[in-house]
Structure 1
Amino acid sequence: MQTTATLYDWSAGALAVRDDCEVVETELLAADSFLVSSGRALALGLHRERFAETAREQGFRDRAELDAFWEAGVALLPDDERWFPRFELVRARDALRLRFRLRTAPPLGTDLVVATAATDPRRVPHLKGPDIDRLNALRQSAQRVGAQEAVLLDDGRVADGTTTALLWWRGGTLFAPPFELARVASVAARTVRGIAAALGVPVEEEAVRPSELDGAALWAVNALHGIRDVTVWVDGPTLAHDPGRTAAWRSRFGALARPIR
């Protein structure tokens, strides 16, 4: 199923559908997306704060305007079907501009095949948005070897996915890459860690090379698909699988969605 999108520009305190005739070269500085299903979304406040912090770091410091823009975008979200909106800060004609994309959600998945990225093209690895085009190109390279996602390494250690955060299980302990590795602060991973805390499940940080994940159960998590089981790592470690645990945690994750307004 092909997704559709409508692009809105923020101007004079309101969102207006972009004039398709206007061609303006832009540089993406910040972007944040989340799944909206039947008028409900998960951790909307965390996405809002991450976008605001990224925008501030990129030079947009009018928080009141940013809040008004965010609220206007949320107000446009339909109460039915599934959507994957994106809030953006761009540089156009040497000025900072806010934009909103109202996108239908693509089909959702429950599992994933990954491959190790040959290079790391990220320029600002801790920010969500500026490297999206470079990461998409990397993901397309992974698709050519039979994977759907590329795993990014920081000095040989597992740090992030091109569109996902990575978590893994050894027995009853959940592991995550150390925060000091080059990666985006994932809202989905933070949510999973919150579920673990509520259940009393131990969570530890671990800096590992791909080969050291042999025998571990690996999850890829993001705001669109939630928790996905990594079934195969192309030319990588042999992974374990626990379908029952994955299904139970996917259910817990989805149950945390709340009405968007």
Structure 2
Amino acid sequence: MDTSATLYDWAGGALAVRDSCEVVEIELLAADSFLVAEGRVLALGLHRERFAETVREQGFREGAQLAAFWDAGVALLPGDGRWFPRFELVRARDALRLRFRLRTAPPLGSDLVVATAASDPRRVPHLKGPDIDRLNVLRQRAQQVGAQEAVLLDDGRVSDGTTTALLWWRGDTLCAPPFELARVDSVAARTVRGIAAALGVPVEEEAVRPSELDGVALWAVNALHGIRDVTVWVDGPALGHDPARTAAWRSRFGALARPIR
């Protein structure tokens, strides 16, 4: 991801810019990112909740420190421009540390080309962060065949993307992979499902193989780009498209962003 970034360490109850000369072997245990555009962000509370749940599962139990760390990171977010900050829990020198990465946002897109991943190297597929490096390798392999994103399968069934959640339409019904499949609890997907509930649109869970998505309109959703239309699945199903619906839902999704403070 081509972004400029400033890395902050949490120490002594405050965030401090990390000494770039310090070399420490780290293991990423949790990470949560979201788009900040002109001082507005979507579903900040859900991101905070997911990050807190992940770091607790990874062994960080200091709730007061975590709350203060999150608030300090949010306080650093600029009120103009586009940013893609990342809150992190890492293991460094056998200790758990909180870090904050203030990054400029990369260019945003409205469509996407995908390819099926040949394997699934994830070790903790339900957590956001620990498998980022492994997923980046899959994305790079997908790029070699002309795609931008790899689709992960769980026993042959569509479960997740390397950086996105996948949703699709059966007529006027919005569909999603079942929760029991190996995938992250996507804040963006939860937001889209919330829009569906507000509009009275039925939502169903569906365990499908890629070939069973032939002809359907497929969306890739995440906190950075929002809703993107999957235009092509390399060596996969021939997808359908509904540009008017996609544009309308992208607008609804974006309208949910709220001021940071």
1:123 corresponds to which residue?
123
C-alpha separation in 1, matches of 2:45 and 2:61: 18
Counterpart in 2 of 1:149?
A: 149
Ranges of 4+ aligned residues in structure 1 off by more than 6 Å: none
Aligned to 2:22: 22
Which amino acid in structure 2 is aligned with residue 200 of structure 1? G
Amino acid at match of 2:103: R
Secondary structure at 1:141 match in 2:
helix
For residues 121 and 109 of structure 1, what CA distance do their matches in structure 2 show?
27
Matched, 1:216 2:219: no
If the length of structure 2 is used for normalisation, what is the TM-score? 0.99
Listed one character per residue, the Cα deviations across residues 6-65 of structure 1 (whole Å, up to 9, x for unaligned) are: 000000000000001100000000000000001100000000000000000000011111
Structure 1 residue 170 displacement after superposition: 1.1
Match of residue 185 from structure 1: 185
Q: Could you give the per-residue CA deviations for residues 87-110 of structure 1, whole angstroms, max 9, x where no partner exists?
A: 000000000000000000000000
The match for 2:205 is: 205
1:186 partner letter:
S
Q: Determine helix, strand or coil for the equivalent of 1:184.
A: coil
Return the TM-score normalized by structure 1: 0.99
Percent identity, aligned pairs only, is 89
Q: 3-state SS of the aligned residue for 1:30?
A: strand
Give the letter for the 1:96 counterpart. Answer: L
Counterpart residue number, 2:70: 70
Match of 2:238 in 1: 238
AA matched with 1:152: L
Amino acid at match of 1:34: F
Residue type matched to 2:151 in 1? V
SS at match of 1:195: helix
In structure 2, how many angstroms separate the alpha carbons of the residues matched to 1:225 and 1:121?
A: 25
Alpha-carbon distance in structure 1 between the residues aligned to 2:42 and 2:64: 23
Runs (5+) with no aligned partner, structure 2: none
- Which runs of 5 or more structure 1 residues have no equivalent in the other structure? none
* CA pair 2-130 structure 1, distance change in 2 beyond 3 A: closer
Q: Partner residue of 1:133?
A: 133
- Give the distance between the partners of 2:211 and 2:2, measured in 1 at CA: 36
Amino acid at match of 1:3: T
Q: Could you say what secondary structure the match of 1:8 adopts?
A: strand
Partner of 1:164: 164
Structure 2 distance, partners of 1:3, 1:153, is 29
Mapped to 2, the partners of 1:133 and 1:83 lie a distance apart of 21
Q: CA deviation at 1:2?
A: 4.1
Distance 2:131 2:20 in 1: 25
Distance in 1, Cα, partners of 2:181 & 2:234? 23
Q: Counterparts of 1:93-104 in structure 2 under 5 Å?
A: 93-104=93-104
Q: Deviations over 1:86-136 (max 9, x none)?
A: 000000000000000000000000000000000000000000000000000
Counterpart code for 1:227 = I
Let me know the Cα RMSD of the aligned residues.
Answer: 0.7
Query: Match for residue 7 of structure 1?
Result: 7
Secondary structure of the equivalent of 1:118? coil
CA distance in 2, matches of 1:193, 1:47: 16
The separation in 2 between residues aligned to 1:116 and 1:138, in whole angstroms, is 9
